[in-house]
Amino acid sequence: MPALSPAEAAELRETARHIRAEIVRMIHAGGSGHPGGSLSAADIVAVLYFHSMNIRPEDPSWPQRDRFILSKGHACPVLYAALAHRGYFDHDTQWSLRAIGSCLQGHPDMRKCAGCDMTSGSLGQGLSVAVGMALGLRLDGNSGRMYVVLGDGEIQEGQVWEAAMAAAHYKLDRITAFVDFNGLQVDGPTAEIMEVRPIPDKWRAFGWHVVEIDGHSVEEIAAAVDEAKRTQGRPTCIVARTIKGKGVSFMENEVDWHGMAISDEQLARALSDLGEAL
């Protein structure tokens, strides 16, 4: 049986499209931010928050919930858009991104942002946090799962591999890590800056179950998460091939759109690409 019915898939695609539009609106309003990596992770985040994760937006600290850690914290507009759309906070809060006094910090702050399970932004650390969460929840017999989204540039951080080793050692099968494999980092292509491939082989060598998917296919994302849920005794890494800036023609695969402000004119073009009215 497919992970998603055609109707569910269509709805998730629409949700991801909406999230992308909110990302560009939010970064335009904030005057700065990271569009490229937010857009590349939009489908993953949409499937997690609107299909796969066991959460209660009306009770953000529900102890039995699944947890989401955006280890590549700079992509937080994608998280904020998903949280707003699921009703964790008011829709218009999004336009305060990065403004003084806002709950939507430039990188996620769990003490300010309702629904945010972990502070992040310094790369390479989210998987370690998930390891701690998984160990703690297991002690309590709590079946909550941990979903972590890592950037492909981010896995250059050595701590990621310390955490990968520990998650496999402790058989933390409730951890599912996505690598948002868009092939670009701040200074250029990962292949030129610091080669990270072969990514699946590295995770396999560390004892993980690995699934390789198209990170923009909601069906493949949902199926991979289901496979992770069925996998016992080891964590799962979903290597998701993505396009940085996905959905906005002039941002796609453009390294400079890692972090850049969006002008009024660019906003109009981006929303037009995404099939949205201004």
Partner 1 sequence: MKRVELVTCRSAYGKELAELGATHPEIVVLDADISKSTCTYHFARVYPERAFNFGVAEQNMMAAAAGLAAVGKLPFVSTYAVFATMRACEQIRTFIAYPRMNVRIVATHGGVAVGWDGVTHQGTEDIGMMRTIPGMAVVAPADAVSTRAAIRGCVSYDGPMYIRLGRNPAPVIYGDEFSFVFGRAYKVADGTDLTIIGSGSQLPECIAARAALAEEGISARLLDMHTIKPLDEDAVVAAAEETGALVTSEDHNIHGGLGSAVAAVLARRCPAPMEAVALADTFGESGDPKLLLEKYGLSAAHIKAAALRALARKVG
| Binding-site ranges for partner 1 (CB under 8 A) | 63, 109-111, 117-119, 121-122, 125, 128-137, 139-140, 142, 158-159, 162-163, 165-166, 169-170
Using CA atoms, how far apart are residues 160 and 203, in angstroms rounded to an integer? 11
| 52 Cβ contact partners less than 8 Å away, ≥ 6 residues apart | 66, 147, 222, 225, 226
182 or 236: CB nearest partner 1: 236
35 or 108: CB nearest partner 1: 108
Least spacing, CB of residue 237 vs partner 1, in Å: 16
Q: Which amino acid is at 42?
A: A
42 or 118: CB nearest partner 1: 118
- What is the CA 174 to chain-centroid distance, rounded? 17
Strand 188-189 vs strand 184-185: parallel, antiparallel, or unpaired? antiparallel
Tokens of 242: 């993505």
Residue 31 Rama label (left phi>0; alpha psi -120 to 50; beta): left
Least spacing, CB of residue 136 vs partner 1, in Å: 4
Using CA atoms, how far apart are residues 107 and 103, in angstroms rounded to an integer? 10
Q: Which amino acid is at 133?
A: M
119 or 182: CB nearest partner 1: 119
Least spacing, CB of residue 216 vs partner 1, in Å: 29
Least spacing, CB of residue 152 vs partner 1, in Å: 20
Least spacing, CB of residue 217 vs partner 1, in Å: 30
12 or 104: CB nearest partner 1: 104
The partner residues of 189 in beta bridges, in order of sequence, read 184
